[in-house]
Amino acid sequence: MSAAEAIPLKVGDYKTDLKPVWCPGCGDFGVLNALYRALAKLQIEPWNTVVMSGIGCSSRLPGYVATYGFNSVHGRGLTLAMGIKTARPETTVVAVGGDGDGLAIGGNHLIHACRRNLDVTYILMDNEIYGLTKGQTAPTTPTGDKTKSSFYGNPEPAFDPCELAIATGASFVARGFSGDMKTLSAIIVRALEHHGFSFVNVMSPCVTFRGDNQYKLMKEKLQNLPEDHDATSRPAAMAYTREDGVITQGVLYDVEQPSLLDKLEEIRAKSLAGAQEPTTEDILETFYPPF
Ligand SMILES: Cc1ncc(C[n+]2csc(CCOP(=O)(O)OP(=O)(O)O)c2C)c(N)n1
Ligand code: SF4
CA–CA dist 149, 87 (Å, integer): 40
Atom from ligand 2 closest to the CA of residue 21: 5
pLDDT for the residue numbered 76? 98
What are the strands, taking DSSP E only, across the chain? 49-53, 68-71, 92-98, 120-126, 172-177, 198-203, 222-224, 247-254
Mean pLDDT of 239-251: 97
pLDDT tens, position by position, 24-71: 999 999 999 999 999 999 999 999 999 999 999 999 999 999 999 999
pLDDT class of 2 with cuts at 50, 70, 90: low
Start-to-end CA distance of the chain, whole Å, equals 67
Residues of the chain with pLDDT > 90, as a percent, come to 87
What are the residues facing 123 on neighbouring strands?
96, 200
Task: Give residue 145's Cα distance to chain centre.
Answer: 25
Containing 161, the helix (H) or strand (E) segment is: helix 161-167
SS3 34: helix
Nearest ligand atom owner, CA of 102: 1
pTM check: above 0.75 = yes
pLDDT for the residue numbered 4? 55
C-alpha of residue 164 to centroid of ligand 2, in Å: 25
pLDDT for the residue numbered 39? 98
CA–CA dist 181, 176 (Å, integer): 9
What is the DSSP annotation of 172-199? EEEEEETT-HHHHHHHHHHHHHSSS-EE
SS3 152: coil
Mutation to probe ligand 1, out of 133, 140, 203 (largest number of atoms < 8 A from CB): 133
pLDDT class of 275 with cuts at 50, 70, 90: low
Amino acid at residue number 34: A
Mean pLDDT of 256-271: 91
Those residues whose C-beta lies under 8 Å from the C-beta of residue 151, and which sit 6 or more positions away, are: none
C-alpha of residue 187 to centroid of ligand 1, in Å: 26
What are the residues facing 111 on neighbouring strands?
none
Mean pLDDT of 207-213: 93
pLDDT at 291 over 70: no
CA–CA dist 255, 194 (Å, integer): 9
pLDDT for the residue numbered 11? 97
Mean pLDDT of 161-167: 98
pLDDT at 1 over 60: no
CA–CA dist 169, 69 (Å, integer): 26
Q: Is the CB of 99 under 6 A from ligand 1?
A: yes
CA–CA dist 197, 164 (Å, integer): 14
pLDDT for the residue numbered 3? 55
* Burial (CB count within 10 angstroms: exposed 0-12, middle 13-18, buried 19+), residue 4: exposed
> Among residues 158, 130, 132, which one has the least CA distance to residue 144?
158
Q: What is the mean pLDDT of the chain?
A: 95
pLDDT for the residue numbered 287? 80
pLDDT class of 271 with cuts at 50, 70, 90: confident
CA–CA dist 27, 38 (Å, integer): 17
Task: Determine contact, residues 130/98, Cβ cutoff 8 Å.
Answer: yes
Task: Determine contact, residues 154/147, Cβ cutoff 8 Å.
Answer: yes
pLDDT tens, position by position, 101-144: 999 999 999 999 999 999 999 999 999 999 999 999 999 999 99
pLDDT for the residue numbered 34? 98
* Burial (CB count within 10 angstroms: exposed 0-12, middle 13-18, buried 19+), residue 269: exposed
Delineate the domains of the chain, giving CATH numbers in brackets: 8-257 (3.40.50.970), 258-291 (no CATH)
User: 86-123 burial, b for 16+ CB within 10 Å, e for fewer?
Assistant: eeeeebbbbbbbbbbbbbbbbbebbeebbebbbbbbbb
C-alpha of residue 131 to centroid of ligand 2, in Å: 5
